[in-house]
A = this chain, B = another copy of it.
Amino acid sequence: MSRDIEDVLAANQSFYDAFAARDMEAMARLWSSSAEIACVHPGWDALDGREAVLTSWRDILAHPGGPRIRCANARAYVMGEAAFVVCHEILGQGMLVATNGFVREAGGWRMVHHHAGAMAPVAETPPGRLH
């Protein structure tokens, strides 16, 4: 595994660690403050820009009944100074699929995007049924 892939996977895990710990300061540091950022929470419309994205995380992390999520099966795709990770998010009985985008900055890999959505059991989604 290349060093870049290791580092991107570590940045991805830090995101889930901050999520699990309800650590808003760590969450805010994880996201790029120089690049434009976006976020698509499951079922939500897209959020654009640091203020909207971080406000959404502040609301989510402050919510006492919020989900406890664990990341699994993360796979990193590195393209020079940018990268993305595709992984599963395990929530009790359910599972989501997430895409997390990263950009390389002086301090390391920082998030630029998060997009998570439900994954249906494979038997319910034959090819062609939806795109």
Contacts and interface: CB of A to CB of B under 8 A. Distances in A.
Interface in A25-41: 35-38, 40-41
Interface of A is mostly: mixed
B101 A75 contact: no
Contacts of A107: none
Contacts of A89: 131
A125 B67 CA distance: 14
A6 interface: no
Interface in A93-124: 97, 99, 101, 103, 112-113, 115-120, 122, 124
A113 B77 contact: yes
Interface residues of A, number: 51
A80 interface: yes
A86 interface: yes
A35 B84 CA distance: 12
Interface of A: 19, 35-38, 40-46, 48, 56, 59-60, 62-63, 65-67, 69, 75, 77, 79-84, 86, 89, 97, 99, 101, 103, 112-113, 115-120, 122, 124-125, 127-128, 130-131
